[in-house]
Amino acid sequence: MDIYLVGGAVRDKLLNLPVRERDWVVVGSSEDALLKQGYVRVGKDFPVFLHPHTKEEYALARTERKTAAGYKGFECDTSSEVTLEQDLARRDLTMNAIAEDQNGNLIDPFGGAKDIKKGIFKHVSKAFEEDPLRILRVARFSARFPQFVLDPDTFDLMHLMVNRGDLAELAAERIYVEIDKTLKSETPAKFFRVLDDLSAGSRLWPELTEDAFTLFEQVAFLSDGREERIAALFWYLDKTRLKKISARLKLPKQLIDLALLRKHFETWMQSDKLDASEIVSWLYGIDAFRRTDRFKKINHFFDLISKITSKGVYGNCSDNWLSYYELATSISAKSLIPKYQGKELGQALRQAQIEKISRARN
Amino acid sequence: MSTYVFGDIQGCYDELQALLSLIKFNQSNDQLCFLGDLINRGNKNLDTLKFMMSLPNIRVVLGNHDLHFLAIATGTQNISEKDTFQDMLDSSELNEIIGWMRQQSLIIYLQEFDSTLVHAGIPPNWSIEEAIKYAHEVEEILKSHTHLDFFKNMYGNEPSIWTDKLLGWNRMRVITNYLTRLRYCKLSGEMEFKHKTKIQPEGYQPWFEFDRQSSGQILFGHWAALEGVTGKKNILALDTGCVWGRKLTCYRFEDQQYFSVAAANN
């Protein structure tokens, strides 16, 4: 049995990037042999195992053949006859189809190292078209390696796949995985722009336009928070469309919490024009006193947006809101308890907060 | 509310302030756009940049001098004798300055005025849409960790012509050269970089002399020797050589007026 390092680890080494995780391919072995050596099987659909000590992933060399639509419609052959080259041939891009043996020699039947040097994404074979998720994966690689461009043939193949409607067979969950990874990458706007070039954007998210990508790009440069980034991407959507797109893409509620608070922005920008009672209403409106972290997150995000869109910065809104918040929380409910109870206590507290802010501003 | 576009400032902070007084600039109403080469060759680079960073309502496209500064400030290139931005390199705010500049664009399209802002030019073999799209490729790189590699590979005159088959740093270099250094070229988009002056190299023409499909305006800087004259109604050259002792110019969209102040050292 022979073991090779494959995929992202080999690619990242060639790009002089830190290697994040290592995947291995095992040639000339079988499931039983690996289990006997203490490997633990983890793959449900594919024969993937964890190493007993390093816990790194080891997969039996395999070939795949598409037999039906959907990502489960694959017939998989993992016999010990399958060669390394056959295993590499089923991969998406030449940059990801390079193996390294245990002496550090590269096995690169599709010229991946050369393509990395040239800076192109090139598909390994026609089998690329068997899984439309690869379109999103390539777009995500573009966001990760912005200096790379698509090989014209690869572009044409992906364009063809998009135009014949292949994306329709992708489950929202699989699309979300790619979005999630994209949100963590350095230049995530590129993901959306590449998909737009392929006419895939108008199929996947017709709501999103270049304006959204531009704002998204700016926010992503200033913040790596996933929530802030997605809120920027959805900034120009009204609530109905925001809910529609996030339902369609099955985005987790938590991820779009900030995006849903967008309607509070216009009032936020008026920080120095509002009267004290409007200020306190706004703070209660976003539940600032019970959810302090969330308030600070909103304040930070709105600050980013106002700076990028050149709106509302004249009055230093963000500092204003922080000081209003401090003033309001400096009043303790306890001091009011002897006099008030229940609902009245809440009202009295609010009144005291309004007065405090009002006094501080005069 | 008015929108102004300024030609190359190149660290001429005093003239910039004088021009802003002349137009009675109102920070909370007016929008300022700059055509790049904000710094270098002039003497108040840090003041210029800090002032721009303090303006909320500002749009900037980067020029060759701005990119050159970034290459030096990030340690990928050595400063040369002609460079005058040591004050910025010594600043305690250098990192903020780098971050701010890396966020800026290479091209800006202003829909309300159907106008495109670019430092040097748009070659005849590109539409405005293509120019914006290719500019994004470089803008994304400026925002990513690969900006360091980009600065290492940015310099050079080759390849001299665009094809969409160009890859890697060659591709980025051509895009950058078109948008931030272009003066003379052929209809095919082949660039010529030996001539700075008005002497036209044989077989080449100024990039703006070729007919263009779109009706919109293009505003650019970079080419002081033109002294603001392109001979084309919808292509405006706004670098009037302030740093060379001539004048600083801006243009107001709303009434198509130009404003200028003379250089302090002329």
| 3-state secondary structure at position B46 | helix
What does the pLDDT read at residue A308?
A: 84
User: Does some domain include residue A114?
Assistant: yes
pLDDT-derived band at A334, boundaries 50, 70, 90? confident
User: Does some domain include residue A159?
Assistant: no
Rounded CA separation A189/A173 (Å): 20
pLDDT in tens, A174-197: 999 999 999 998 899 999 999 999
pLDDT-derived band at A333, boundaries 50, 70, 90? confident
Assess whether pLDDT exceeds 90 at residue B159: yes
pLDDT in tens, B96-114: 999 999 999 999 999 999 9
Strand partners, A123: A93
pLDDT-derived band at A315, boundaries 50, 70, 90? low
Lowest mean pLDDT among A44-53, A287-296, B45-54, B254-263: A44-53
Residues of B in Cβ contact (< 8 Å) with A119? 167-169, 171
Assess whether pLDDT exceeds 70 at residue A160: yes
What does the pLDDT read at residue B198?
A: 66
What does the pLDDT read at residue A312?
A: 46
| 3-state secondary structure at position B60 | strand
Span B65-76, average pLDDT: 97
| B95 and A CB contact within 8 Å | no
Given A67, A98, A118, which residue is the final one in a domain?
A118
| B52 and A CB contact within 8 Å | no
pLDDT-derived band at B176, boundaries 50, 70, 90? very high
Residues of B in Cβ contact (< 8 Å) with A152? 164-165
Are the beta carbons of A119 and B169 separated by less than 8 Å?
Answer: yes
Given A102, A118, A134, which residue is the final one in a domain?
A118
Strand partners, B109: B116
User: Does some domain include residue A346?
Assistant: yes
- Here the CATH number for the domain that contains residue A6 is 3.30.460.10
Given A118, A143, A171, which residue is the final one in a domain?
A118
Assess whether pLDDT exceeds 50 at residue B32: yes
Span A192-216, average pLDDT: 95
Rounded CA separation A177/A30 (Å): 30
Share of chain A above pLDDT 70, in %: 98
pLDDT in tens, A223-279: 999 999 999 999 999 999 999 999 999 999 999 999 999 999 999 999 989 999 999
Share of chain B above pLDDT 90, in %: 86
Min Cα separation A224/chain B (Å): 12
Domains of chain B, start order: 3-262 (3.60.21.10)
Are the beta carbons of A310 and B58 separated by less than 8 Å?
Answer: yes
Q: What is the mean pLDDT of chain B?
A: 94
Rounded CA separation A219/A302 (Å): 11
pLDDT in tens, B184-237: 999 999 999 887 666 788 899 999 999 998 889 999 999 999 999 999 999 999
Domain that holds residue A270: 262-361
User: Does some domain include residue A349?
Assistant: yes
| 3-state secondary structure at position B40 | coil
Beta strands B107-110; B184-185: pairing state:
unpaired
Pick from B16, B15, B61, B59: nearest CA to B35: B61
Site of tokens 């209403």:
A281
Are the beta carbons of B56 and A221 separated by less than 8 Å?
Answer: no
Assess whether pLDDT exceeds 50 at residue A59: yes
Residues of B in Cβ contact (< 8 Å) with A197? 133
Assess whether pLDDT exceeds 90 at residue A112: yes
What does the pLDDT read at residue B118?
A: 98
User: Does some domain include residue A307?
Assistant: yes
Site of tokens 């954007």:
A201
Assess whether pLDDT exceeds 80 at residue B59: yes
Q: What is the DSSP letter of A93?
A: B
Span B136-144, average pLDDT: 93
pLDDT in tens, A338-352: 788 888 888 999 999
Pick from A118, A110, A114: nearest CA to A94: A110
Span A298-321, average pLDDT: 82
How many domains is chain A partitioned into structurally?
2
Are the beta carbons of B171 and A187 separated by less than 8 Å?
Answer: no
User: Does some domain include residue A187?
Assistant: no
Span B123-133, average pLDDT: 96
Lowest mean pLDDT among A28-32, A309-313, B53-57, B121-125: A309-313
User: Does some domain include residue A144?
Assistant: no
Residues of A in Cβ contact (< 8 Å) with B102? 221
Min Cα separation B127/chain A (Å): 16
Contact A84, A2 (CB under 8 A): yes
Residues of B in Cβ contact (< 8 Å) with A140? none
Q: In this structure, what token pair is assigned to residue A17? A: 């990037």
What does the pLDDT read at residue A311?
A: 58
Residues of A in Cβ contact (< 8 Å) with B171? 119, 149
Chain A nearest-CA residue for B28? A314
Span A298-305, average pLDDT: 94
Lowest mean pLDDT among A101-105, A152-156, A184-188, A197-201: A184-188
Size of interface A-B (CB pairs under 8 A): 58
Q: Per-residue DSSP letters for A243-300?
A: HHHHHHTT--HHHHHHHHGGGGHHHHHTTTTS-HHHHHHHHHHTTTTT-HHHHHHHHH
Are the beta carbons of A118 and B102 separated by less than 8 Å?
Answer: no
What does the pLDDT read at residue B196?
A: 62
User: Does some domain include residue A79?
Assistant: yes
